[in-house]
Amino acid sequence: MESRAMSSVPRIPARNPGGLIKDIASLRADFPILDQEIAGKPLVYLDSAASAQRPRAVIDAMVEQEQRNHANVHRGVHELSQRSTAAYEGAREKVRRFINAAASHEIIFTRGTTESINLVASSLGGQLLEAGDEVLLTTMEHHSNIVPWQLICEKTGARVVPAPITPRGELDLPAFESRLSRRTKIVAFGHVSNALGTINPVEELTAKAHAAGAVVLIDGAQAAPHLQIDVRAVDCDFYAFSSHKMFGPTGIGVLYGKTQLLETMPPYQGGGEMIRTVSFEATTYNALPYKFEAGTPHITGAIGLGATIDYLAGIDFESRSRYEDELLEYATQELIKLPEIRIIGEAREKAGIVSFLLGGIHAHDLGTILDREGVAVRTGHHCAMPVMDHFKIPATARASFAFYNNRDDVDRLVEGLKRALEFFA
Amino acid sequence: MSELQDLYREVILDHNRQPRNFGELEPADRVIEGVNPLCGDRVTLYVKLDGDRVEDIRFKGTGCAISVASSSLMTERIKGSTISESLELFDKVHGMLTKGSDAPEDLDELGKLAALSGVREFPSRVKCASLSWHAMRTALTGPDDSVSTE
């Protein structure tokens, strides 16, 4: 299979290695949506952790597919079907390189992180879990990395065990280790917390889970837009992420899984069609990834994701990462100057997110006032109610950053918060 | 007046800072929990009836300024009213919040409650204002012990 031959291809080389920080700042112009006014003020978009914006190159690639190339994939001998198939499978190969997977058949296109996790919970969980077994999670998980496990545990008699977090919002490593046992069959955790921004030590966690004999799934939804992902270096068994959090379209995401596990897992959507047309019992390489892609896929979405990966490959990663770190540092410094601010999540390693409370002002009121200042933030529990419970708060306001944000955006956020303080004084 | 000042009128800010009828009521004839699943806001409503009259009503919970002020204004207004008067008021307030029925005679009748009309310009906030009203209606009509804005 082509993907095997491709497995030795090096990581994508950046076209501007050693690029300057000012070059990163100029990338903002690639995002047409940012050039508009909200409530009469220039838009400041600080909600990328909910959904990031798309660069023009991605929008163009999708329009091109829709206007010139669309047909169903893997079906026809005609030109358009072949073009669509080539672009769709080309996107799969781009994803493989993006996360440094060994083979492109280890890349399964899904609707997003949520579906990826449901796939593993249902398919592998249903096969592997028995009464008395445990699935170890962390308290900082997004609901989409909790509920699928609860559902399969209800069916199998296994149980979900949460590993606690510290007051800073980091995973409590000794507690995590103490919860690993022979009963632990699956360990699932986020790479980066969507509510706190905490970066988890995924290699270390994976090694410890493997030592206990467990299978490891990583929810990479918030890591994909900020970090370099290397599934082989981490050695995780599964890695899930969404296109729309990393500047691509919605409705498309990825499940990476190691070949030997994917081959032995039953199909997720077990409609007859896939099983009849694919020789499932043979469990050959050729059965993957299609065994897990029932029905016509989101072709344009996958191609958009491929274009997003191309776009990111054109940006020097080290420069982008340094720029983002500096911006997060600046945002944190400016925010803590405000009276009565409380930052929720003060991990030493963070990416892209500052969650906070301001005085006694409810997060939704902050969100509305900021919106009228042209500043978009997320407010609420961020689909992470156990995190809110941990900090004994109902909700936070969350500013999340991407490389298209800058210091002016931070200043506008701070101005808006000052206005909220005046309002509720 | 800016949209924000229209939303956060002085009456709203005042009832948020100092909510009236806040706390539990013991014993209560009806206890209803209202939840806005979208944001996790919750309000618990305690109602004590005397025949068909709301003798006392109190609330507890966490929520934004709109939600707290709306609960506070609602309890202040409902206390002492009959069940049918309260349900009529629900219809008027609900109409004001969702349909924009702000005929001057209606607003006159609503009095202080008209301060809640600012949420109409903020569709994502309408449920904040309506949560406790839904809870009140359920408390006075239904056997259910919970209510949701969804």
Quote the radius of gyration of chain B (alpha carbons, Å). Answer: 14
In degrees, to the nearest 5, what angle opens at C-alpha A261 toward C-alphas A255 and A265? 85
Per-residue pLDDT at B146 exceeds 70: no
The answer to whether ipTM exceeds 0.90 is no
Task: Give the pLDDT of residue B147.
Answer: 59
Catalytic site includes residue A153: no
A342: enclosing H helix or E strand: strand A341-344
Residue-level pLDDT at A211: 98
d(CA A407, CA A331): 8
Give me the tens of pLDDT residue by residue for chain A, a chain 425 residues long.
333 333 344 444 454 555 556 688 889 999 999 999 999 999 999 999 999 999 999 999 999 999 999 999 987 789 999 999 999 999 999 999 999 999 999 999 999 999 999 999 999 999 999 999 999 999 999 999 999 999 999 999 999 999 999 999 999 999 999 999 999 999 999 999 999 999 999 999 999 999 999 999 999 999 999 999 999 999 999 999 999 999 999 999 999 999 999 999 998 886 534 555 555 555 554 579 988 998 899 999 999 999 999 999 999 999 999 999 999 999 999 999 999 999 999 999 999 999 999 998 999 999 999 999 999 999 988 888 888 888 888 889 999 999 999 999 999 999 999 999 998 88
Could you name the CATH architecture of A23-46+316-423?
Alpha-Beta Complex (3.90)
Would an 8 Å CB–CB cutoff place B145 in contact with chain A? no
Q: Which residues contact residue A320 at a Cβ distance below 8 angstroms, ignoring those fewer than 6 apart?
A: A24, A403
Asked if A372 reaches chain B (Cβ–Cβ under 8 Å), the answer is yes
**CA A202/CA A237 separation, integer angstroms:** 12
Mutate to test the interface with A, among B2, B3, B4 (most CBs of A within 10 A): B4
- Would you give the DSSP letter of residue A270? -
CB distance from A362 to chain B under 8 Å?
Answer: yes
Tally of CA atoms within 13 A in the half-sphere of A215 that contains its CB: 22
Identify the CATH number of the domain in which residue B83 sits. Answer: 3.90.1010.10
| A323 membership: H or E segment, kind and range | helix A317-335
Contact status of B122 with chain A (Cβ, < 8 Å): yes
Q: How many domains does chain B have?
A: 1
CB contact under 8 A, B66 and A394: no
Residue A44 is predicted with a pLDDT of: 98
CATH code that applies to domain A62-313:
3.40.640.10
Structure tokens at A90: 């080309």
**In this structure, what DSSP letter does residue B31 have?**
E
Q: How far is A50 from chain B (nearest CA, A)?
A: 15
Residue A375 touches chain B, beta carbons under 8 Å:
no
Residue A3's pLDDT is 39
Q: Kindly list the residues from chain A whose CB atom is less than 8 angstroms away from the CB atom of residue B38.
A: 380
The answer for residues whose C-beta is within 8 angstroms of residue A45's C-beta and 6 or more apart is A33, A34, A53, A376, A404, A405, A409
Contacts of A79 (CB under 8 A, 6+ apart): none
d(CA A370, CA A377): 8
Please name every residue paired with A350 in a beta bridge, in sequence order, or none if there are none.
A198
pLDDT digits (tens, 9 = 90+) for B5-21: 889 999 999 999 999 99
**Alpha helices (H) in A7-135, listed in sequence order:** 21-26, 56-64, 79-99, 113-120, 126-128
Find chain A residues with C-beta within 8 A of B13's C-beta: 423-424
- Whole-angstrom distance, CA of residue B77 vs CA of residue B73: 6
- Joined together, the tokens standing for residue A332 give 């944190």
pLDDT score of A77: 86
Token pair of A256 as six digits = 């990476």
Share of chain B above pLDDT 70, in %: 88
pLDDT of residue A272: 39
Instruction: Name which of A362, A369, A388 to mutate to probe chain B: the one with the most chain B Cβ atoms within 10 A of its Cβ.
Output: A362
Question: What pLDDT score was predicted for residue A273?
Answer: 40
Contact status of A420 with chain B (Cβ, < 8 Å): no
Residue A424 with chain B: CB contacts under 8 Å: 13, 16, 65
For chain A, which residues make up each domain, given as ranges?
A: 23-46+316-423, 62-313
Strand ranges of the sheet holding A134-138, from the earlier edge strand across to the other edge:
A107-110, A253-257, A238-242, A215-219, A184-190, A134-138, A159-163
Question: B43 phi and psi, to 5 degrees?
Answer: -135, 135
Question: Of B40, B64, B65, which has the smallest distance from its Cβ to A381's Cβ?
Answer: B40
- Contacts of A143 by beta carbon, 8 Å cutoff, 6+ apart: A383, A384, A385
Substitution target in B39, B71, B120 with the highest count of A β-carbons within 10 Å is: B39
Residue A354 and residue A331 in contact, taking contact as beta carbons nearer than 8 Å: yes
